[in-house]
């Protein structure tokens, strides 16, 4: 059974086609830097038993253009892995915000799509491209079952003291104003891997997902008990273009005293802040290049990014009442040893001690980068949100009808 997984991020699109239930990846790829200069599409596939890579460089304006290019490659006589769209039985879609309505993997219907659209305002950088992925996939794969896997679902285990805000109760009961949590598929996947690695089902773990969007989760016994993001995926850590945590009075000051409109402030905090706001660059690779050239704004952005992570480690260690391991994952977390070093610097009180030589070693496997005497394990675990989505999609379509 072939299951295609689409993972539309704020500036990227990952995809994988799996042969299930054997979890064999037939092809995978990444459309990167969508909407930015020098967009790329990297397509990995197997031919005659050998892995081959095909790369396109250009200017991919939006997610729809990227998705159509991916679909064309899947059917390509030389580079593709299917001869007909009907070979794909199901498509698993990553959907960032599911509100309280979706606590599990869901078959996509018109009603589900309508609800995803209703939640655009809470995840403006994500639910719209997620929705585009669904609508394009419905056109290209008309006979495949479309399935949504929600980032918010993993965090439904958070207790009220973690997800409620100290605001009038009716704002929660009437409008659902609460913290939902995001990147749940990634946090779930790497936490399961960490628990297996530690051989401790009750492990107290902090997972640190660092990419264009970044978040952290406190996990105890395999369940999310607290998370850095809130109502939408704007709060918490500094991100590529998102502000992370700010004093809410800033919003009212800009509107009431400086004449900004609410939509303008929303755009600033979502699309013009974070690394971009601090130094004019949203991609961490570009920030590091600017740092090497002595750009002081880039240096500050890098330091501030790491410092915010350190603050949340302290907060979540208190929430967990202890700490067995921290896990770095996603694009920056897995591939930037300098950021891992910056985060772990001066964290001796928490029992976090990084081995600089281990930290520099590149690997696609789970690895420890802590010193031998470190009380807390420092793990680098490559995330595989697509595989987790594929597994959940497969489980849903093969679920007995009476369950």
User: Annotated catalytic, 297?
Assistant: no
Decide if 209 contacts 187 (C-beta within 8 A).
yes
pLDDT per residue as tens digits for the range 262-308: 999 999 999 999 999 999 999 999 999 999 999 999 999 999 999 99
**What is residue 18's predicted lDDT score, i.e. its pLDDT?**
94
Count Cα atoms within 13 angstroms, Cβ side, for 148: 31
Q: List Cα–Cα distances, 140 to 143, 146, 271, 352, 392, in angstroms.
A: 9, 12, 30, 49, 22
**What is residue 364's predicted lDDT score, i.e. its pLDDT?**
86
Which backbone phi and psi does 244 adopt, to 5 degrees?
75, -160
Domain architecture of the chain: domains with CATH: 2-150 (3.30.420.40), 199-380 (3.30.420.40)
What six digits make up the tokens of 339?
Answer: 């950021």
What six digits make up the tokens of 186?
Answer: 């990634």
**What is residue 68's predicted lDDT score, i.e. its pLDDT?**
85
**Chain-centre distance of CA 34, in angstroms?**
16
Q: Which residues of the chain have pLDDT under 70?
A: 400-403
Bind-site residues for Mg(2+): 7, 385
**What is residue 149's predicted lDDT score, i.e. its pLDDT?**
94
Bind-site residues: 7, 14, 94, 209-213, 283-285, 331-335, 385
What would the 3-class secondary structure string for 131-155 be? HHHHHHHHHHCCCCEEEEEECCHHH
- d(Cα 359, Cα 370) in Å, to the nearest integer? 8
DSSP-based helix, strand, coil % in the chain, nearest 5: 40, 20, 35
pLDDT per residue as tens digits for the range 222-264: 999 999 999 988 999 999 999 999 999 999 999 999 999 999 9
- d(Cα 69, Cα 65) in Å, to the nearest integer? 6
Single out the catalytic residue among 62, 76, 86, 151. Answer: 151
- d(Cα 222, Cα 205) in Å, to the nearest integer? 9
DSSP letter at 169 equals: H
- d(Cα 79, Cα 165) in Å, to the nearest integer? 51
- Of the candidates 205, 218, 246, 226, the one whose C-alpha atom is nearest the C-alpha of residue 163 is 226
Strand ranges, E, within 65-150: 88-95, 106-107, 145-150
| Burial of 114 per CB tally in 10 Å (0-12, 13-18, 19+) | exposed
Bind-site residues for substrate: 94
Decide if 26 contacts 18 (C-beta within 8 A).
yes
């Amino acid at each position: 059974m072939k299951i295609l997984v689409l993972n539309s991020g704020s500036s990227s699109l990952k995809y994988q086609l799996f042969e299930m239930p054997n979890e064999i990846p037939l092809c995978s790829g990444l459309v990167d830097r969508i909407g930015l200069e020098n967009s790329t599409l990297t397509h990995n596939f197997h031919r005659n038993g050998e892995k081959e890579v095909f790369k396109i460089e250009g200017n991919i304006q939006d997610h729809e253009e990227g998705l159509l290019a991916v679909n064309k490659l899947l059917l390509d006589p030389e580079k593709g892995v299917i001869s007909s769209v009907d070979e794909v039985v199901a498509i698993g879609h990553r959907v960032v915000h599911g509100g309280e309505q979706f606590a599990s993997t869901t078959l996509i219907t018109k009603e589900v799509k309508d609800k995803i659209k209703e939640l655009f305002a809470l995840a403006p950088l994500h639910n719209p491209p997620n929705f585009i992925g669904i609508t394009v996939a419905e056109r290209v794969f008309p006979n495949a079952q479309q399935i949504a896997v929600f980032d918010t679902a993993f965090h439904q285990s958070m207790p009220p003291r973690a997800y409620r805000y100290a605001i009038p109760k009716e704002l929660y009961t009437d409008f659902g104003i609460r913290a939902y949590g995001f990147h749940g598929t990634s946090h779930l996947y790497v936490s399961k891997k960490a628990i297996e690695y530690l051989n401790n089902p009750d492990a107290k773990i902090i997972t640190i997902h660092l990419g264009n969007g970044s978040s952290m989760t406190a996990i105890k016994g395999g369940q999310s008990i607290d998370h850095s993001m809130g109502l939408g995926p704007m709060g918490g850590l500094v991100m590529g273009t998102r502000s992370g945590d700010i004093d809410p009075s800033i919003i009212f000051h800009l509107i009431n005293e400086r004449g900004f409109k609410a939509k303008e402030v929303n755009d600033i905090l979502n699309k013009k802040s974070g690394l971009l706001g601090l130094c004019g660059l949203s991609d961490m690779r570009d920030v590091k290049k600017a740092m090497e050239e002595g750009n002081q704004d880039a240096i500050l952005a890098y330091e501030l990014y790491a410092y915010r992570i350190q603050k949340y480690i302290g907060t979540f260690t208190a929430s967990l009442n202890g700490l067995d391991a921290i896990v770095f994952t996603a694009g920056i977390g897995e591939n930037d040893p300098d950021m891992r070093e910056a985060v772990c610097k001066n964290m001796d009180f928490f029992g976090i001690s990084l081995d600089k030589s281990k930290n520099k070693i590149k690997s696609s496997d789970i690895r420890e980068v802590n010193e031998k005497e470190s009380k807390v394990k420092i793990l680098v675990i490559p995330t595989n949100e697509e595989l987790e989505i594929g597994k959940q999609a497969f489980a849903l379509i093969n679920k007995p009808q009476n369950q």
